[in-house]
Amino acid sequence: MTRCLKPAEETTVLIVEDESRLRDVLVSSAQECGFRAKAVRAAEEAIAQMEQDPCDIVMLDLNLPCMDGLRCFEIVRERWPATSAVILTGFGTLEAAQRAIRLGVVEFLTKPASLGDIEQALHRAWRMRFELSEDHTDDMPPIITDEARDAGQHDSPQTMREIEYECITAALDRNGGNREAAAAELGMSARKLYYRLAEYQKTGFPM
């Protein structure tokens, strides 16, 4: 397994997962990666935990009882805007992907995720939280255009990561490959766009 770099010991990740066995796996993986890990079963518990002791990163299941994971992160992002998020999901919908992009979700993990994928996602969230936190334009909601919506219309199911990739590449095509212009259209900084494209390339997306 590829080991991630060790974050500072005070860095905390909050796991929000209603399935007890997976919740235990996620906590163990986060701890092995050098994080302080806490875990709750529901979105409402996550918000209560954040009020008591705000965490740097939240890892949320998309499909939680009562309040879903993205609605939970909407509240977290509004009240604790520096918090990074990783979303756990099966195949996603375009609507869910657009909400996640607008919220600045760092990574999408498709269940069942390997321990290596979990570690890499947490490390990406940590890097985004602490290396790019001074870049306030990253918090602006991306503009989802008609072309980007069309990019997500497929007969076969896609993950939210795939839909996000297609939204970004559609913006690049419209701007003749100019990354600065594409970033401006999407409402993110050029540095964040470069980072996302590098991550796509590492995971085998065509660039």
Q: What's the pLDDT at 116?
A: 83
Residue 169 has what pLDDT? 83
Length of the chain equals 207
Q: Could you tell me if 134 and 37 lie in one domain? A: yes
Residue 134 CB neighbour total at 10 angstroms: 7
Closest CA to 85 of 93, 77, 97: 77
Tokens representing 173?
Answer: 């095509």
Element at 13 (helix H, strand E): strand 12-16
Number of domains in the chain: 2
Of residues 75 and 8, the one with the higher pLDDT is 75
Whether 47 and 105 share a structural domain: yes
Residue range 49-71: mean pLDDT, rounded: 92
* For range 182-192, the mean pLDDT: 76
- Residue 38 belongs to domain with CATH number: 3.40.50.2300
State the Cα–Cα distance between residues 59 and 26, nearest whole angstrom. Answer: 9
Quote the pLDDT of residue 98: 65
In tens, the pLDDT along 98-135 reads 677 677 788 888 777 787 888 888 888 888 777 645 44
Which domain range does residue 27 map to? 12-138
Return the amino acid letter for 103.
L
157 three-class SS = coil
Name the pLDDT band for 152 (thresholds 50, 70, 90): very low
Residue 134 and residue 150 in one domain: no
Is the same domain home to 144 and 132? no
Looking at the fold, whether 152 and 179 belong to one and the same domain comes out as yes
* Tens-place pLDDT, residues 11-53: 899 999 999 998 998 999 888 888 899 999 999 999 999 999 9
Same domain, yes or no, for 188 and 131?
no
Residue 50 shares a structural domain with residue 123: yes
Same domain? 156 vs 198? yes
Would you say residue 147 has pLDDT above 70?
A: no
| Gap between the Cα atoms of 186 and 193, Å rounded | 9
**Has residue 137 got a pLDDT over 50?**
no
Statement to judge: residues 22 and 122 lie in one domain:
yes
CATH code at 148?
A: 1.10.10
Among residues 66, 86, 87, 70, the alpha carbon closest in space to that of 78 is found at 70
Phi first, then psi: give them for residue 120, nearest 5 degrees. Answer: -65, -40
The closest alpha carbon to 11, from 28, 36, 46, belongs to 36
* Boundary-marking domain end, from 121, 138, 155: 138
Residue 186 domain-assigned?
Answer: yes
